[in-house]
Amino acid sequence: MSDNSHTYVNQFAAQQSLLVERLQFLLATLQSDLRADVVRALGAEGKLLSLQRERDSSTQSSQIVGSWPLLTFLVAQSIAPEIDLVYASSVAVAIEYFICALDLLDDVEDDDQTPIVQTLGIARTLNVSTTLLMLAQQALLSLSQYHIPPERILLLLDTLQACALAAATGQHRDILAEQQPVQDFTENDCIEIARGKAGSLMRVAFLLGAICAGADERTREQFSALGELLGIAHQLDNDAHDLYYLLQDYPSNETLTGTDTIIPGVKTDLIRGKKTLPVVLAAHREDALQGNALPADEQKQVHQRALQDGIITTWGIFLLYHERARDSLQEIGAYVSVSPLLRLLLDL
């Protein structure tokens, strides 16, 4: 590891500790039983309160702990290097609460038996999610104690609500899509679902950082666009990899996009019939290749090829969005001094 990398790691550690401190301060008023469950949720892998466990662990995760609030915090610091740290960390922590709340809802909506759902059960998981949504708002409302202008607090709250509604809309489309035939979906539908779900969340993480730093409208729009591009990119990357890993282990004498086959170990999204881009592309591709009725063995080959083409095409479109995000960051860099830490976090 280079000297520079050491510096980056140390600087992330300092920011992470600051965010953990602020997060715990805002949790202090919760009743003890509720607080214990909220702390469990915020201690899941990759979340801020897993920091100590991660530091104690002999094996380091590839995921940066608290990357969501770090993103908000580092955007604010890039725009306003002298920003008050308690102020910026309160806004960043609101993002951690918000993302954690939606994570829990997503687990329940997808019937995912994640460790936190297994520990808490559905009722407590939902109540912890509600609590976290309230805490996100409370973290922003607490800014009035630091003499932040009410207009700015209102704009932060308004932005959080707007992005939450957009994410919920994307999530709802995604849930409804499970019951609809794959042939009804276009490539564009899949991108729009990704924009609504992942794009909105990444957008709000960037936007709250920009707003809290007092960025002008143009800068806010630029960061918003960057967040949306990155959110879509990561959604497509994950969708391509989910299907790719599945195909590596998948018996070639089965069909995947049909609804009658359940494969052990398959990610829940795929079992549930989510209309991700590689699945939709593969289905359309298979229809195009099939044409006339083929013998069974040729059908399987066509099916396999359609899946492979869907995965590679999706990964290519991911790379396209990643490049667009890189261009967007370059445009921002022309008038905002983007910190090395933020560049490191974004990996663009």
Partner 1 sequence: MEEQQIRDFVYRVSNDEKLRKELTNSPDDVLRHESFSPRVAEIVRRLIPHLAFDTALATPLNWWAHGYTH
**Chain positions contacting partner 1, by CB under 8 A:** 46, 62-64, 67-68, 71, 99, 102-107, 110, 112, 167, 170-171, 187, 191, 197-198, 201-202, 231, 233-235, 237-238, 240-242, 244, 267, 269, 281, 285, 305, 308-309, 311-313, 315-317, 319-320, 322-323, 345, 347
Nearest-approach distance from CB 124 to partner 1, in angstroms: 17
Four-residue CA torsion sign, 314, 271, 133, 98: negative
Nearest-approach distance from CB 153 to partner 1, in angstroms: 26
Residue 277: half-sphere exposure toward Cβ, Cα within 13 Å:
28
* Closer CB to partner 1, 110 or 143, in the complex: 110
* Closer CB to partner 1, 80 or 280, in the complex: 280
Q: How far apart are CA 280 and CA 310, in angstroms?
A: 8
Q: How far apart are CA 180 and CA 172, in angstroms?
A: 13
Q: Which residues contact 317 (CB under 8 A, 6 or more apart)?
A: 191, 236, 277
**Which three-class secondary structure state does DSSP give residue 7?**
helix
Q: How many helices (H) and strands (E) does the chain have?
A: 14, 0
What is the residue-wise DSSP string for 73-86?
HHHHHHH-TT--HH
Nearest-approach distance from CB 60 to partner 1, in angstroms: 13
* Closer CB to partner 1, 156 or 282, in the complex: 282
* Closer CB to partner 1, 46 or 214, in the complex: 46
Nearest-approach distance from CB 170 to partner 1, in angstroms: 8
Nearest-approach distance from CB 166 to partner 1, in angstroms: 11
* Closer CB to partner 1, 148 or 167, in the complex: 167
Q: How far apart are CA 320 and CA 237, in angstroms?
A: 11
Q: Which residues contact 268 (CB under 8 A, 6 or more apart)?
A: 110, 111, 112
Nearest-approach distance from CB 194 to partner 1, in angstroms: 8
Report whether 77 contacts 111 (CB < 8 A).
no
* Closer CB to partner 1, 216 or 298, in the complex: 298
* Closer CB to partner 1, 87 or 98, in the complex: 98
Amino acid in position 130: T
* Closer CB to partner 1, 24 or 304, in the complex: 304
Q: How far apart are CA 275 and CA 257, in angstroms?
A: 10
- Cβ-based neighbour number of residue 84 at 10 Å: 14
Nearest-approach distance from CB 85 to partner 1, in angstroms: 22
Nearest-approach distance from CB 207 to partner 1, in angstroms: 15
Q: How far apart are CA 309 and CA 227, in angstroms?
A: 28
